[in-house]
Structure 1
Amino acid sequence: MSNGPAGHVARSTVRPNPETARAAGPGRMRTFLSTDDGVAVDSVYDQGQAVYEEGRPSGDTPVFVVAHGFTGDADRPHIRRVAGVLRRYGAVVTFSFRGHGASGGRSTVGDREVLDLAAAVRWARGLGHARVVTVGFSMGGSVVLRHAALHRDDDARTDAVVAVSAPARWYYRGTPLMRRLHWMVTRPEGRLVGRYGFRTRIHHREWDPVPMSPVEAVPRIAPTPLLIVHGDRDGYFPLDHPRMLAAAAGDHADLWLEPGMGHAENAAGEDLLARIGDWAVTRCG
């Protein structure tokens, strides 16, 4: 879905636009970040419930950077709910991927979205957070895996990775829901449904080159801690996807197969999100 280099690793410092950065409530800031390929990404910072020193986070305060699923955005109720639980464990950055919500550009369905996540991680570090945890759902899960593999030693690196309901491989059409999604992405009439029905603007170009798949990315993440979470009632990706990811990751990854859980943010209950917060605080310390 992209005409750019799929393995591109951006290294410039991303700063919020001072003309658009603004307070958006107590302990909250909102701005548009500019990615390395010039896309404006709508981003929200929630200070969280941790202790701050002189207006900046203490060295022990992690920040969770949340990467939503396809057709989501930073203002969706399920994203706000995820952020609300994770705020108990640290600050939270939420953002809308390109082509979603108020962000610019068009969705490449997981390819150049790595640049969006990198911009958000750099912003979080620029706000004073020394520990960053990326948490991705569905498409966002594939993005956090590829981002961690591509950004190992730069200012967009992450200290722990959580992938929830992520695919292991591209072009999967083995479930009815995935066949509908492929129709929406690949057909002109489907992209119209995406734009007007789901507020998601989808790029018409096919991937060229095809980006590294999640299962190819996972072995490159070590020794960064990795948590793979998947529901046994996921209607998009069956359990062979998380098992494939865990097998590729080896001993450095934890795999949670959640009984009765469906797909992504809407299916992630408060108890699961709290356990993810506990895991992250322990593993990235």
Structure 2
Amino acid sequence: MSSPLSGRTARSFVPTITPDGALTPTGRVRRVTLRTSDGVPIDAAYEPGPTGAEGLAIVLAHGFTGDLERPHVRRAAGVFAQYAAVVTFSFRGHGKSGGRSTVGDREVLDLAAAVAWARSLGHTRVVTVGFSMGGSVVLRHAALHGGGAGSAHGGRTEDSGRMDARTDAVVAVSAPARWYYRGTAPMRRLHFVVMNPVGRLVGRLGLRTRIHSQEWDPVPLSPVESVPLIAPTPLLVVHGDRDPYFPLDHPRMLAAAAGGGAELWLEPGMGHAEHAAGEALLRRIAAWAA
């Protein structure tokens, strides 16, 4: 879910980890605070995968108004954890992360910090899976850091060779293809929340999402413009045929932009994003990633 807000995508993305990173009482999930290249603290969690899958990590990027503690995000992470280690995090302006949401622009830096953290933990294969707004973010992130034609230095920072945010494969679920889309009633309501002062107050108080008040300057590369830059990184586009936010022309545009380099799954009866992704679909996505 995307709209015109402020911010410029930076190319430096090495995170720092604050001292609160520690194991929970279960001994499995590690909760940390990452810091993005533009200084925003990002709440993140790590769960080791099953024995024999230590090399693979899935980084889950939630949709607008979600966060890593939301039940639908935890449900998806729980399924993925049966196949791989899982990193979940809350985008800026969401949950316990700092900053304000730019609804898909500077969130690329949040994802980059999470991917770099996964690599710093020793994972040799990192797959990003994004839902809705998170789907647009994983596409733009892969264009910059996927090792394809558009990536900078193969995904490695200009100022540091010790950490990188390369992604080895990308899954975009219920993602928009283009910005400023208002063709459905849910998207018109979302634009009101993002663009109107009263709507942003509703977002902060009712949706627990703090939204930036300024417009994008410059307008970031759109998801459909990002897709041609992702190859040869594998790309999977997943979309429900009953998505109330983005109709089927969005996933078809994304797949077409890949020029045959993407898989397209159109899911019968599926609605939108994490809430609508059933366990069977999540398992198929995890198996594709693995």
TM above 0.5, yes or no, is yes
CA deviations on 1:5-57 (whole Å, 9 max, x unpaired) are: 23x2225x32311x2111123221001000000000000001122338xxxx3
Q: Which of structure 1's runs of 4+ aligned residues deviate more than 3 A?
A: 1-4
1:5 aligns with 2:8: yes
* Counterpart-to-counterpart distance in 2, 1:104 and 1:249: 34
* Counterpart-to-counterpart distance in 2, 1:68 and 1:102: 14
Q: Is the 8 A contact 1:50 1:88 kept in 2?
A: no
* Counterpart-to-counterpart distance in 1, 2:11 and 2:237: 24
TM-score by length of 1: 0.93
Instruction: Look up the match of 2:272.
Output: 263
Aligned-partner residue type, residue 36 of structure 1: S
**1:4 Cα deviation after fit:** 3.4
* Counterpart-to-counterpart distance in 2, 1:214 and 1:3: 17
1:233 to 222, 242, 245: 242
Instruction: Look up the match of 1:65.
Output: 59
* Counterpart-to-counterpart distance in 2, 1:67 and 1:223: 21
5 Å-filtered alignment, 1:30-45, equals 30-45=31-46
* Counterpart-to-counterpart distance in 1, 2:208 and 2:51: 34
2:69 to 75, 97, 100: 75
Structure 1, unmatched stretches of 5+, are none
Aligned-partner residue type, residue 282 of structure 2: L
Instruction: Look up the match of 1:172.
Output: 181
Instruction: Look up the match of 1:190.
Output: 199
RMSD: 1.1
* Counterpart-to-counterpart distance in 1, 2:233 and 2:17: 27
Corresponding pairs, count: 271
**1:250 Cα deviation after fit:** 1.5
1:47 aligns with 2:48: yes
Q: Is the 8 A contact 1:66 1:134 kept in 2?
A: yes
Q: Is the 8 A contact 2:61 2:129 kept in 1?
A: yes
Q: Is the 8 A contact 2:7 2:102 kept in 1?
A: no
Instruction: Look up the match of 1:132.
Output: 126
Deviates more, 1:42-51 or 1:131-140: 42-51
Aligned-partner residue type, residue 77 of structure 1: P
1:120 aligns with 2:114: yes
**1:113 Cα deviation after fit:** 0.1
5 Å-filtered alignment, 1:86-125, equals 86-125=80-119
Q: Is the 8 A contact 1:27 1:48 kept in 2?
A: no
**1:173 Cα deviation after fit:** 0.2
Q: Is the 8 A contact 2:20 2:32 kept in 1?
A: yes
Q: Is the 8 A contact 1:119 1:156 kept in 2?
A: yes
1:22 aligns with 2:22: yes
**1:2 Cα deviation after fit:** 4.8
Q: Is the 8 A contact 2:240 2:266 kept in 1?
A: yes
Aligned-partner residue type, residue 9 of structure 1: R
Structure 2, unmatched stretches of 5+, are 148-153, 157-163
CA deviations on 1:229-283 (whole Å, 9 max, x unpaired) are: 00000000000000000000122100000000000000000000000011111xx
| SS across alignment from 2:209 | coil
| SS across alignment from 1:89 | coil
Instruction: Look up the match of 2:232.
Output: 223
CA deviations on 1:204-249 (whole Å, 9 max, x unpaired) are: 0000000000000000000000000000000000000000000001
